[in-house]
Amino acid sequence: MPESSTDFLSVAVGLFILVLLKKIFDSWKTTKGPYPPGPKPKFLIGNALDFPMNGIGQHFMKVGEQLQSGLVHLNILGNHTLFINKKNIADDLLEKRARIYSGRPHLTAVEALGWDTSNILIMGYGDEWRKHRKVAQQHLNKRQTRTYEHIQLRHLHKMLHRLLYSPEDFLQHTEVLSTAVVMDIMYGYQIDRHDDPANVAAEKMVALAVSLMLPGGALMNILPFLRHLPAWIPGNIAGKGVKDCLVWMHEMRDIPMADLRKRMDQGMATHSAVSACLEKNAASAVDTDPDAERVMCNIAWASYTAAVETTVSATGWFFYAMLLHPRVQRKAQAEIDSIIGAGRLPTFADRPSLPYIEAIYREVMRYAPPLYVGFTHSSTEDDWYDGYFIPKGTSVFANLWAMTHNEGVYPDADTFNPERFLDEHGELNDDDNILAYGFGRRACVGKHVASATMWITIVSVLACFMIEHPKDEQGNEIEVDNECEYLGLVMRKKPFKCRFVPRSEGARRLVEEATLDVGTSQTHFL
């Protein structure tokens, strides 16, 4: 290694030690009161070794049970972190005190990506966020979401067709569906293949970004000066991750915008959120909002960034649950047959008439919430709760896993059981709060689109297919394990195999006809 590089590393290590000691000293020298219960911190490093990179929700649920506390506090190298394990506490802090707990952690890696000013999911709580939130709500509110139903149905029918002809690739088909719906809504951009360049760029970007967004996911988040280390320095994993992430981020933003502008120039653009914004600005020289295009484009790419992993995770767990619970599958199909019959595919108008399907949707989101510890909140000022001190700047996680697996609320919580959302008459009970969408002012702004896409996927797949165990060469069923994988804050079922068998020739014909109705052919998107 060149001498200059060696000198640079020596200086960097020295600064690392000095900054680390200062952060730890500053965090311990003034304490206004007792912190919430937590693991006993170790000398200098605090609870740095008590934060697992995988299974965070399950781990801190157990820690909370051992401490007999709904709050678990950590001091990680001078950075305060709080896990909320009980819904009532999350309501008290994240809902009722949303003014204090609507911030996002200050993460150097996020700043390096530029997301602190461009991504509504990540940016801090303030005027810029409010501006983005207002625009997002205009396009993604419950009423507006109903105008997107034809888009969701079109892409869902394509997915059914793919399941018919290449069922072994069902996980890829769900990835295409989740991204295609949002890309169509936002840009009118059509994704019909898993290897579409915009889809590939989004997946690669998100895969790199999810770990960088954890408070301890990149060392530069703890020691900001490390951001300035060259990416080529050995061991600078986060620096290389930021560099690569930026490349894919520009790809995923530029591809659909270039496509949209080209179609607009040719007079071939379909209506979309971004095209409407561009057309409005182009049509009025007086009322043009120079900032409107920037904000709308930020909302667009952030929306399909969020869709890449979360909807895919939920759909994967749904397939897995149906595979392991054929009784639930048969009961759901009996309800579909009795209400819809065998002569057509489900539509959104059927949703109020299918309580058991709705219960399955709720149970999927409870059983395995995609963001199983929620997106990190941050306290913007000192606070007290139940006699405990919560300092300004604390990273706050709503431990959705602990809340949705609370045995006091959901008995036998590790069992998939849609009946828990029904009363004795088979009607839906009042437990309709999907915790997976988060709390307070930072709750998922796209939850209505996500809910609609997830529901129509569940009911349509069950209407058309039996989901069965794969079989070996001798015709014996192959068991599927229950292992999962973690991508930052997202929990997904590990890839597995299953069979999608058309329920009847009539079901097969409905899928074929629906595909023809949207003007596509098998060769177009397989």
Amino acid at 55: G
297 is annotated as contributing to ligand binding: no
Burial class (CB in 10 A: 0-12, 13-18, 19+), 97: middle
Nearest to 300 by CA among 243, 255, 268: 255
d(CA 332, CA 326): 10
Q: Which amino acid is at 446?
A: G
- DSSP secondary-structure letter at 474? T
Alpha-carbon distance 511 to 345, whole Å?
8
Q: Give 3-state DSSP helix, strand, coil % of the chain, rounded to 5.
A: 60, 10, 35
> What single string gives the DSSP state of each residue in 402-470?
HHHT-TTTSSSTTS--GGGGB-TTS-B-S----GGG-SGGGS-TTHHHHHHHHHHHHHHHHHHEEEE--
According to DSSP, residue 42 is labeled B
d(CA 167, CA 170): 5
β-strand pairing of 79-84 with 395-398: parallel
* Closest by CA position to 467, among listed 217, 261, 198, 163: 163
Annotated binding site: 444
Binding-site residue set for heme: 444
